[in-house]
Structure 1
Amino acid sequence: MAEAPMRRLPVPWRLVLAVAAGYAAGSLVSFALFASPAPGPVLFLPAGVTFAALVLSEPRRWPWVLATAALVEVVIDRSQGIGPVAAWGFALANTAEPLVGAGLLRRFAPHPDLSRRRDLGAFLLCGVVAGPLVGATIGSLTIRLAQGPAVSDVLLPFWAGDGLGVLTVGGAVLTWRLDRGRPGAPGPAGRAALLLLTAGVTATAFWPVGIATAYLTLPLLVWLAVRYGVAVVTEAGVVVAVVANVLTVAGRGPWAPLADTPRLEAAVLQLFLAVAVLTAWLLAVEITERERARSVSLRETEARRRVEALQDVTAGLATAPTSDAIAEVLARSGICLLAESGAVGVLTQDGARLRVRATSGQVYDMPIDDPSALAGAARRHAPVHAWSPSALAVPARTAGQTFGALEFRFADAQPVDEDMTAVARTLAELMASALYRARLYEDERDAAHQLQQAFLPVVPDDLPGARFSGCYRPADEDHDIGGDWYDAFPLRGERVGFAVGDVVGHDLRAAAAMGRLHTALRVLAFELDEGPAAVLEALDRASLDIPGAAMATIGYGEFDPATGRLCYACAGHPPPLLVTGHHADYLAGGRSRPVATESRPRPEASVDIPAGSMLVWYSDGLLERRDEDLDAGLERLLSVTSRLDGDDPQAWRDTVMQEMTAGHRLLDDVVLICLRLQPSPP
């Protein structure tokens, strides 16, 4: 079996050319700067080029970087008259140095960010101290073998030159992208202007001989650190180092009097440059760290505020019973979590339209095929991002069904990040779950409403000797079902019967009991024709077979227009109120206990009705208030009715209901009937 051919790694030509150009330029600057073929210049710029190339590239490409640096080093050294042995020795020193420094830095900071204190410390220890120390050791031994100076004489200058090269050039390369996108960060032209300013200030500061004006560069570097950040400071550091070395070699600067002791002059100069650049750099890092901490704090605060607001929205959705209430909660409190404005669209049952509620308060219908982002999200069951104006729409979807959509509109065109999309989806999911629950509730409420309407009587308009108006109002209008009821119907002998009742409860069971009692009372009234007491006694017996009928209260009366006599009986029910003119009296006779609790014969009472009288009968829900007893309610009803005029029972009904319940939450269901009783002339 033939061996598979070895896989050849492609040559990273862009990296190789960049390293070769940078290394060669730095080496030539160093040799030209000191105008000497002697090795070991004090500021060795290529050390920063190789180190930065290794840090920024993958380890599998490091051999290409090191081989390129070694080859360029040998070529330039030989061109400067350095022997082959020394040239290869310097090549070894200048490849071992970045390899050690970059390897250690990648070990302690795999992705170094030199705007952070921890990563900057690792950079200084590994790249500026440890790596150059290895290179200086190899380089000083090479110089000792090639030229004869003691290792101790060249070790420190070699180390300082390479370390300063890594600090300035390597630092500038590793940080040049840090300030991209930072508020106030200069563009390319702005950076070029700042570097020219730095060169001018440094040249001015280092021009006087023997005068300590070099320290004027410190305020400039500090200003750059405060105003522009890490990247600009490191780039300015390279300019300061190069210009200061050029002028010092030219015999200018505050340390020119030390020219007779070049090692001391070089040491003082490089120490000043390192301290100046590093001080400004640390200041920029400290400012960046504080800005980062403040940004994190603001993001955490915003996230916490958003979570709290989301909790409020969740609580509002949990208590919103209807689709309209859900849309109102989201339009009022949900959309503002992400955007300046927006809209909530709820699909109608047929899926043809969206009922839209905007954050502005506007409510309107929109066809599902509308080209808007809101309709598109509901139609496609997927998010839609519109750009003009900038908007994000997400469908409200759960259990495989879309119930509507949310639209977020932004004041300025801005990218929608993952966090914003996640919050939008969360709101849409909450909306879908709430609408699913609301649809079930609304279906149940509609069924209950239809059932309650079916239980309400159809009262004929031509009752003998009476004009009638009645109404039912549930305590819980969202459910619209309960046990209160009323009725009015003609009887034999041109008489009229009427009743009000109250079954305990506000649910379907109470409504069912109410319906059966209602029907039983009407049937018994027709069959017995023996007066209200006999009807209630028969109803006691019938109620034994009606679940939930026990303790129901009923008021039943019969009016004979021919005689003008009203007979009535109250089984635990509040008394009727008779109003003649502006005089109102409760009819307190005929009282007994509630249905199915009385074993004795029930009493009844009768009264002669003056012409034009109004009879008002009601359930106790009309009288009840949380801070009052029933006696206060009875007095209030007496006061209201005694002030009324007119003969229209519907006007009386509406006025009494308004006066008795306005501004107060109903504690119980209410029925109210008003009968205009008119005896027939003899």
Structure 2
Amino acid sequence: MLDIASVVRVHVDALIVAMNHLVVRDAIARNAPVRKPVAMSAPHMPKVAGIDSAVPAPAHTVQPLDASPGAPVVMLQDRLAGWVSDLTTLHELTERLVRTDSVDTALNEVVRAGAALVGSSRGLVVLEPAHRTEENARGATAALGLSHAELGQLETVPRDASSYGRLLDDGAEPATAAESVRDVLGDPGLDPLHRDVAVRLGYRATYAVSLAAGTSGRIGVAVWLYDEPAEPVERQRHLVGLYSRYAAEHLARLRELEAARAREASIAGELLPSRLPRVPGVRLAVRHRASGHGGGGWYDALPLPEGALGLAVGSVSGSGPSAVAAMGRLRASLRAYAVMEGEDPVAVLSDLELLLRLTEPARTATALFGFAEPALGRIVFAGAGHAPPLIVGERRTEYVETTLSAPLGMLTCWEAPSVELSPAPGETVLLYTDGLLRRTGEPMDRAFARLHAAAASVPGSLRDDPGAIADHVLRLMGASEDSGRGEGADAGSATDTEDVVILAVRFE
């Protein structure tokens, strides 16, 4: 994992050989007979052409037996122990870095680890956009010991006037891996704006390291600030150089992974409804929290003849592009079956079961389909291995007892009785995916109890707005995000492993 230079390895091996030689020689000296002549204890050299082995070695090359080699051994042991300690520290820091799973957390780890290696208490890491030509391309920044206002002041310094800015310039040579400024204010050619910022922030020295990956080239730079004129010693520069090379590769991989997840989330969002229909007698709202791993959670609201409305939520097993594609096919098929026989939710799910078993026998899915007639205040539900709906009102908050059944794709022939529900005016029915329960990290019985408590605690001032009810439940269930507060789906890039869907239906 660690990129240790070959020179370091050769020196360590040489030290070990030297130590062994000195220790063995010391042991021979300690165990030698008392008052034994040196000439008698010296080994007989073999006869070699041109060399007379009987001639004794020069006197100045023979070390007295009572000379102690302890001091060189201790020195070598101390140096070797120092190298082992440095490499152990480097290994621990890279292990902590590899456990990060997002660019933001990795940047925070890099700036903290680098500060520990170079002996600084403040610093920042700047990650350049992957594609500068794209519109709205943005990089990322992580800071240590610097507030947002102080970061804003640093951004006012021209790039060519700061050490880390010069490393970020396109014209900088790739070989320029680091730049140290021992005394910022002592530089007579310092940019006046840079001098003012340095005085206001109270730093006197900087040390910047370029972050360059083998496949992506230079992706950013890390810089650490010192309160007094100083610079890292050679050992610190070597360690932070090794760490920065590994950090750059890790950040490049995470950035590519997040870009792929964003593309998958965008595709999944395109496969879901862009807007909810407007049907007299009901108000609809949806909240979709994408997992960022290409989950198969989905929802649908389909206007049907005679003012009816088809409501559906479900999830497909697996993750990644294949799960997203399967989700799109399943949702499109359910819409077709709902148009043909939506008044019978059991028949809709039975047809969906047959299709899934014939076309994708290795995949399972859960689904909940409801045929709503707002004019009559009635919904007929059928579920296949899905969590039951939750009805929220002023006088009651309770689960709708749907019939227990296996998920789609697990039985030779699926069929389960439907359940009819008659919500009162002002009540809201919540349809949700299992991801809402699993994101809590609790056992399912406790997750259901937590969801019930969250729905029951909706303030009276929010009960008229189905979107506000969904937001309140998401926040208390730990799946809330700042984005996605519109009527349509939110294809945000969450780092959680479960898709979350809440479809709120309020009866007027």
TM-score of the superposed pair, with normalisation by structure 1: 0.52
Residue 282 (structure 2) aligned to one of 466, 487, 507: 466
CA contact (8 A) 1:495 1:558 kept: yes
| Contact 1:579/1:585 (<8 A) preserved | yes
Contact residue 534 and residue 602 of structure 1 kept, 8 A: no
Show the 5 A alignment for 1:542-553.
Answer: 542-547=355-360, 550-553=363-366
Contact 1:354–1:375 (CA<8 Å) still a contact in 2? Answer: no
SS at match of 2:473: helix
Q: Following superposition of structure 1 onto structure 2, how do residues 413-562 of structure 1 map, counting pairs within 5 Å?
A: 413=229, 418-460=234-276, 462-474=278-290, 477=291, 479-547=292-360, 550-562=363-375
Residue 398 in structure 1 maps to residue 213 in structure 2: yes
Change (3 A) 1:361 1:582: farther
Residue 102 of structure 2 is aligned with which of 313, 318, 322? Answer: 322
Contact 2:433 2:502 in 1 (8 A): yes
2:306 aligned counterpart, secondary structure: coil
Does residue 370 of structure 2 align to residue 370 of structure 1?
no
Give the counterpart letter for 1:652 in structure 2: I
The 3 A distance-change label for structure 1 pair 606 and 335 is same
Cα deviation digits, residues 174-196 of structure 1 (max 9, x gap): xxxxxxxxxxxxxxxxxxxxxxx
Aligned to 2:427: 613
Task: Output the amino acid matched with 1:653.
Answer: A
Q: Which amino acid aligns with 1:327?
A: L
Bigger relative contact order (CA 8 A; separation at least 6): 2
Equivalents in 2 of 1:415, 1:612: separation in Å?
68
Q: Deviations over 1:553-590 (max 9, x none)?
A: 11100111222221111122122222342213332245
Q: Deviations over 1:487-518 (max 9, x none)?
A: 11211111111111021223332222112111
Q: What letter corresponds to residue 435 of structure 2 in structure 1?
A: G
Task: State the partner residue of 2:384.
Answer: 571
Counterpart-to-counterpart distance in 2, 1:588 and 1:570: 10
Contact 2:440 2:478 in 1 (8 A): no
Match of 1:671 in 2: 501
Q: Secondary structure at the match of 1:370?
A: helix
Contact kept, 8 Å, 2:293 with 2:497, in 1: the verdict is no
Amino acid in structure 1 at the alignment position of 2:300: D
| C-alpha distance 376-351 of structure 1, shift in aligned 2 (>3 A) | farther
Quick check: which one's helix share is greater? 1
The corresponding residue for 1:246 is none
- Residue 513 of structure 1 aligns to a residue whose secondary structure is helix
Residue 609 of structure 1 and its aligned partner are, at CA, apart by 2.9
Aligned equivalents of 2:271, 2:321: Cα separation in 1 = 12
Trace 1:73-88 onto structure 2 (pairs within 5 A): none
Equivalent position of 2:41 in the other structure: none
What is the CA–CA distance in structure 2 between the aligned matches of 1:296 and 1:627, rounded to whole Å? 52
- The answer as to whether partners of 1:309 and 1:333 remain within 8 angstroms in 2 is no
Q: How many angstroms does 1:549 deviate by?
A: 7.4
- Output the CA distance in 1 between the equivalents of 2:307 and 2:145: 60
- Distance in 2, matches of 1:386 and 1:627, equals 49
- List alignment gaps of at least 5 residues for structure 1: 1-102, 110-117, 123-284
Q: Give the conservation status (yes or no) of the 8 Å contact 1:536–1:602.
A: no
Q: What is the rounded CA distance, in whole Å, between the counterparts of 2:364 and 2:115 in structure 1? A: 50
Quote the Cα distance in structure 1 between the aligned partners of 2:391 and 2:67. 97
Task: Return the alpha-carbon distance in structure 2 between the equivalents of residues 354 and 497 of structure 1.
Answer: 43
C-alpha distance in 2, partners of 1:343/1:622? 36
Distance 2:361 2:106 in 1: 35
Q: Deviations over 1:520-554 (max 9, x none)?
A: 11222123344212211221232235437743111
Aligned 8 A contact 1:459 1:489 in 2: no
The 5 A counterparts of 1:112-191 are: none
CA distance, structure 2, for counterparts of residue 626 and residue 322 of structure 1 = 20
Paired with 1:396 and 1:321, the residues of 2 have a C-alpha distance of 18
- SS at the partner of 2:161? coil
Structure number with greater Rg is 1
The letter of the residue matching 1:554 is A
How much has 1:429 moved relative to structure 2?
0.9
Query: What is residue 114 of structure 2 aligned with on the other side?
Result: 334
Aligned-partner SS, 2:116:
helix
**Is the CA contact (8 Å cut-off) linking 1:618 and 1:672 kept in structure 2?**
yes
Q: 1:358 to 1:674 in 2, by over 3 A?
A: closer
Whether contact under 8 Å (1:351, 1:368) holds in the other structure is no
| Cα distance in 1 between the residues matched to 2:474 and 2:500 | 9
* Preserved CA contact (<8 Å) 1:513 1:548: no
Question: Aligned partners of 2:427 and 2:231: how far apart in 1?
Answer: 75
Change (3 A) 1:522 1:633: same
Change (3 A) 1:444 1:299: same
| Identity in percent | 26
User: Pairwise CA RMSD of aligned residues?
Assistant: 3.6
1:659 is matched with which residue: 467, 473, 476?
A: 476
Look up the SS of the partner of 1:500 in the other structure.
strand
Distance in 2 of aligned mates of 1:108 and 1:343? 58
Asked if 2 retains the 8 angstrom alpha-carbon contact of 1:582 and 1:642, the reply is no
Question: Separation in 2 of the partners of 1:119 and 1:394?
Answer: 51
Partner Cα separation in structure 2 for residue 463 and residue 549 of structure 1: 37
CA contact (8 A) 1:345 1:374 kept: no
Structure 2 alignment gaps of length 5 or more: 1-57, 185-204, 481-494
Alignment of 1:32-47 (within 5 A): none
2:129 equivalent among 348, 353, 356: 348
Q: Is the 8 Å Cα contact of residues 354 and 368 (structure 1) preserved in structure 2?
A: no
Contact 2:97 2:247 (C-alpha < 8 Å) held by counterparts = yes
Pick which of 515-524 and 573-582 moved more.
Answer: 573-582
Counterpart for residue 386 of structure 1: 181
Range 388-397 or range 349-358, more displaced = 349-358
* Aligned-partner Cα distance in 1 for 2:329–2:365: 12
Task: Say whether the 8 Å CA contact 2:343–2:371 is kept in structure 1.
Answer: no
TM-score, length of structure 2 as denominator length: 0.68
Report the CA distance between 1:356 and its aligned residue. 4.3
Q: Tell me if structure 1 keeps the 8 A contact 2:314–2:365.
A: yes
Equivalent-residue separation in structure 1 for 2:360 and 2:99 (angstroms): 32
Q: Distance in 1 between matches of 2:221 and 2:100?
A: 17
1:232-280: CA deviation from partner (whole Å, max 9, x where unpaired): xxxxxxxxxxxxxxxxxxxxxxxxxxxxxxxxxxxxxxxxxxxxxxxxx
Question: Cα–Cα, structure 1 residues 397 and 515, in superposed 2: closer, same or farther, change >3 Å?
Answer: same
- Residue type of the partner of 2:322? R
Map of 1:267 onto structure 2: none
Superposed displacement of residue 303, structure 1: 3.8
> What is the letter of the counterpart of residue 182 of structure 2?
W
- CA contact 1:306–1:337 (8 Å) conserved in 2: no
Q: Which moved more, 1:426-435 or 1:596-605?
A: 596-605
Contact conserved, 1:524 with 1:535, CA < 8 A, in 2?
A: yes
Moved more, 430-439 or 319-328: 319-328
* Correspondence for 1:359 among 136, 144, 163: 144
Amino acid corresponding to residue 451 of structure 2 in structure 1: L
Whether the aligned pair in 2 keeps the contact of 1:576 and 1:617 (CA below 8 Å) is yes
In the alignment, the residues of structure 2 paired with residue 296 and residue 362 of structure 1 have an alpha-carbon distance, to the nearest angstrom, of 45
- 1:633 and 2:447 are equivalent in the alignment: yes
Matched with 2:40 is: none
**Which whole-Å deviations, capped at 9, do the CAs of 1:103-155 have from their partners, x for residues lacking one?**
864x569xxxxxxxx89969xxxxxxxxxxxxxxxxxxxxxxxxxxxxxxxxx
